[in-house]
Amino acid sequence: MKISKRQLIRIIKEEKARLAEQRIVSDAEVMERLKAGLIATALDRIVNDGDNILEGQVMQFVMDTMEVSEDQVFAALENLAIQQNLM
């Protein structure tokens, strides 16, 4: 079976479009993976590397943006570390 140049070009365009469609990842998915990566990395540095500076910055950020005690923030930090299998 012969195909014309025009048909071949159309087939290639359609296939490129199909492949591009399969690779599309939404911005929301990227943001979720980014959040998960930041959480995992920060917790690893705090829990396993003993990064007290990062721990203090994270705790201060939370306490500056909402009315919670240091104990509440520390407990939440521990719970996250447990959820991430770091403790």
Q: What is the predicted pLDDT for the residue at 69? A: 92
Is residue 28's pLDDT more than 90?
no
84 pLDDT tier (thresholds 50, 70, 90): confident
For the chain, the structural domain boundaries read 26-83
Q: What is the mean pLDDT of residues 16-40?
A: 85
> Please, which residues have CB within 8 angstroms of residue 86's CB and are 6 or more apart in sequence?
43, 44, 47, 48
Is residue 22's pLDDT more than 90?
no
Q: What is the mean pLDDT of residues 7-25?
A: 85
Q: Which residue has the higher pLDDT, 3 or 43?
A: 43
